[in-house]
Structure 1
Amino acid sequence: MLSGIHRFPLQERVIFGKAAQHALMDEAERLGCSRLFLLCSPSMRDSTFLDKVMDALGSRLAGAHFDMRPHSPRDSVIGAAKAARAASADLLVAIGGGSVIDACKLTQQVLWLALDREEDLDRLRKGMSPDGSADILNASVPITRSIAVPTTFSGAEFTSFAGVTESASGVKEVFDHPLQIPRSVILDPEATLGVPHWVLMSTGIRAVDHCVETFCSPKSTPYADAMAVQAFRILLGTLPKLQADPLNLDFRLDAQLGMWLSILGPAAGVPVGASHGIGRVLGGAFGVPHGRTSCMLLASVLRWNSKVNAERQTELCGMIGRPDHGLAEVVEDLVKSLGEPISLRQAGIEESKLRNLAERSVASGFLENNPRTIHGADDVMEILRLSW
């Protein structure tokens, strides 16, 4: 008998197809917030999109912080919290990709608990005692929450968990709290215009990775399956169109909508597999952008997993209109069509580094829910050789 638990994230609304500056003003009014503090990557400093947002906020703008770096290092989180605290922010606004949004999520907890050192984050890691942070759910005083305006297709804005990198070791850790999820998400395709095209395409494959590993998860649900299939259909049809017509805002919005659906399964508690798991380590410890980790790993993970879930992979191919193709082939062809790398070698990962990557991946604990059981580093090496 099918059994499981579906978790509804504590997110209030998704606003799409509306200019972010107007949507932000409406949300600030709705939430009764008057001191909005922006968290952005350094590349946003000269963004005309950001200029529009800041001009529209006017007196509601409490400040902006531009030190939100790739893979969300802990020092970025602590620095953002200190800056927001100094500005007396009553609402955080993350404008950027997955790294910015993940860092913003944990920044909220740092503010709630008045933390100010990187080592203070140890007690908040997923699986460890939150030292009472869950009591925030029942707090009698207002707490600082966030809104997200994503600029990529990574989907971090729809989950309550955040991947944050331990600065010294390069290990990416998971931090989760139900109120970390942004209260609102604003999907404005104009927000994606200043992002390098390769970043959009690779995070589009990251969204495909959400679809595929959700559908193929041993713990998937009917809800997650439905979201994954529809998202995959949208992304499979839209990403090549966006590759051919990069400035088309309709295609950008369609991709955002596909990305939104793609992450709803994991957001509801469906675990993902080795593509995500190895990818977290490849990103945190080796500096590979997380969108590109999916480009290089997903097809190989599917081939390795096919020993135990070939029927499930075939079922998904049929549901997306590719009944005569293998799922790994569909993914690989899509990656190639977008001009993205399909091998670790193309990312500059030397063969001599594979064993270290395999051992780190096993030690991370992120591979426990892969459809085919991973017994140790030798199994991961088989996947990495397929990817190299």
Structure 2
Amino acid sequence: MQTGDYTTPARQRVIYGQPVAAALPAALAGLSRVALVTTASLNRPGGLADRVEAALGPACAGRFAAIRAHTPRGDVVALARFLRETGAEGVVSVGGGSVCDAVKIARLLLANDVHEAAGMDRLRAPAAIEGPRIPYACIPTTLSAGEYTAYAGSTDERGPLKEAYHHPMLAAETVILDPAMTLATPRDLWFSTAIRAVDHAAEAFCAANTTPMAEATSLHALRLLFRALPRLAEAPGDIGARLDAQLGAWLSIQGFCAGVDLGGSHAIGHALGGTAGMSHGHTSCVMLPHVLRWNAAVNAGRQQAIAEAAGAPDRPAADLVAELVARLGQPGRLRDAGVAREILPKVAAAALHDPWIATNPRPLGGEPGIRAMLEAAW
């Protein structure tokens, strides 16, 4: 008999299928000074940032467009300074995971009176810090789904080392899913983060501590993603398919948001990102099929359910994921993603310390087993 103890994640408003011009005023009603945060690539004349600023109208208190990839600490400190100087009552972002993480952490700096990068060290103890106070509305342009979680990452340039920050109230209060805002997202970034969403759903569904809610959201996420992504490979401008992919990404992360553990694909992916510089989307493209094949010895029934959600119940789930990766033009081997074979021992050693190695459904055999999987993926 299945038993458990399920706690609903923090309340979050998700506005989907509505254009930003209609959704944003409702999301930030009553605020007269709202800061806009984005990246240099979206800040060009006529770009997405201009569209969001037009939707904000006179409530826009200023624009910050200096967030770089992997969210360096210096950028987070500069953003917090900007929010203080503009007297922002709220913040809206448009962009991918680096921008979202920057806003999340900058709000922690504001709430805890942190003004320098060195002071960020004490923010990594969630029980001892104040939660964010100013509201945040996120307009994501990728499918990485970080806007829904209570975690954020920032790179400490002294390492460099990517560090995680957590607070129960860290997620964006409002997420606006406007598929038209994703049309300018580079194809590789869009599809690689889409496979990251597939990875979230597959590992949450197969987790030892999964819940009925996580099972339901994960399977429907997989149905949406396996239906929408091949359509988008042929017709990138299909707005309906883009919205389905956004909805799939939203549902894919709900298990993790409620405390469900993930597994080997995410754990090894973290090591590949930190050690080999791979994007998290590409690590999922390469590693998820290998981890599914390894785990099939202990969860074949669950993997059959994944295959059913993908529309091919008689096929191995690992093969279906690998075929989707190839159809989307994403790397299927580590060498295709620029990873040198010589670095694999270092990646295996780093992966061994990731907490999700221990929660993989089937033990990976320590460092030798991880190394063998990496060799197979290379």
Aligned to 2:94: 95
Contact 2:191 2:328 in 1 (8 A): yes
**Corresponding letter in the other structure for 1:38:** L
More deviation in 58-67 or 182-191?
58-67
When residues 245 and 43 of structure 1 are mapped into structure 2, their CA distance, relative to the original with a 3 A threshold, is same
Q: Determine the structure 2 residue equivalent to 1:140.
A: none
- For normalisation by structure 2, the TM-score amounts to 0.94
SS in 1 for 2:357: coil
> What secondary structure is seen at the aligned counterpart in 1 of 2:169?
helix
Report which stretch shifted further, 217-226 or 371-380. 371-380
- The separation in 1 between residues aligned to 2:239 and 2:309, in whole angstroms, is 27
1:237 aligns with 2:237: no
User: Shift of the alpha carbon at 1:22?
Assistant: 2.6
C-alpha root-mean-square deviation of aligned residues, in Å? 1.8
- In structure 1, which of residues 32, 36, 39 is the aligned counterpart of residue 37 of structure 2? 39
Greater mean deviation of Cα atoms: 55-64 or 315-324: 315-324
Amino acid of the structure 1 residue aligned with 2:276: F
Q: How far, CA to CA, are the matches of 2:21 and 2:283 in structure 1?
A: 32
- Range that drifts further, 100-109 or 220-229: 100-109
Please list every run of 5 or more consecutive structure 2 residues that lacks an aligned counterpart in the other structure.
Answer: none
Question: 3-state DSSP class of the match of 1:175?
Answer: strand
What residue is the counterpart of 2:282 in the other structure? 292
CA distance in 2, matches of 1:40, 1:101: 9
Match of 1:53, SS?
Answer: helix
Inter-partner Cα distance in structure 2 for 1:2 and 1:381: 35
TM-aligned CA deviation for residue 238 of structure 1: 0.6
In structure 1, the partner of 2:126 is 130
Gaps of at least 5 residues in structure 1 are 138-142
Q: CA, structure 1 residues 81+354, in 2 after alignment: closer, same or farther (shift >3 Å)?
A: same
User: Counterpart amino acid of 2:358?
Assistant: E
1:61-140 equivalences under 5 Å are: 61-125=60-124, 129-130=125-126, 132-134=128-130, 136=131
CA displacement 1:270-289 (0-9 Å, x = unmatched): 11112112222322343222
Cα offsets for 1:86-128 (capped at 9, x unmatched)? 2111112121112221222122111100112223222333xxx
Distance verdict in 2 for CA 1:166–1:308, change over 3 Å: farther
- Structure 1 SS opposite 2:62: strand
Q: 1:369 to 1:79 in 2, by over 3 A?
A: farther
Maintained 8 Å contact 1:9/1:160: no
- The 8 Å contact of residues 227 and 264 in structure 1, kept in 2 or not, is answered as yes
Is this contact kept in 1: 2:227–2:310, CA < 8 A? no
Partner residue of 1:251?
Answer: 241
Question: Is the contact made by 2:271 and 2:348 (CA closer than 8 Å) also made in structure 1?
Answer: no
Tell me, in whole angstroms, the C-alpha distance in 2 between the residues paired with 1:366 and 1:35. 41
Distance (whole Å) between structure 2 residues aligned to residue 294 and residue 237 of structure 1: 19
Q: Deviations over 1:124-164 (max 9, x none)?
A: 33xxx336325x48xxxxx2131110001111111111233
Q: Is the 8 A contact 2:48 2:94 kept in 1?
A: no
Q: Could you tell me how far 1:347 is from its partner in structure 2? A: 1.1
Alpha-carbon offset, residue 26 of structure 1: 1.7
Query: How many pairs align?
Result: 377
Residues 148 and 172, structure 2, Cα contact 8 Å, conserved in 1 = yes
Amino acid aligned to 2:251: L
Q: For the structure 1 residues 119 and 308, does the alpha-carbon distance in structure 2 shift closer, same or farther, using more than 3 Å as the test?
A: farther
% identical equivalent positions:
40
Shift of 1:348: 0.9
**Aligned position for 2:304:** 314
Question: Which stretch of structure 1 is more off in the superposition, 357-366 or 101-110?
Answer: 357-366
Name the aligned partner's letter for residue 121 of structure 1: M
User: Match of 1:220?
Assistant: 210
Q: Distance in 2 between matches of 1:87 and 1:284?
A: 34
Shift of 1:370: 1.6
Q: Report how far residue 375 of structure 1 moved.
A: 5.1
Tell me if 1:305 matches 2:295.
yes
Shift of 1:39: 1.7
Q: Residues 319 and 193 from structure 1, CA distance in 2 versus in 1: closer, same or farther, beyond 3 angstroms?
A: closer
Which whole-Å CA distance do the structure 2 matches of 1:250 and 1:244 have between them?
A: 13
Change (3 A) 1:101 1:386: same
Within the candidate set 141, 164, 182, 2:172 is matched to: 182
CA separation of 1:3/1:171 partners in 2, compared to 1, >3 Å: closer, same or farther? farther
What letter is aligned with 2:129? Answer: S
1:305: how far off? 2.3
Question: 1:52: which partner in 2?
Answer: 51
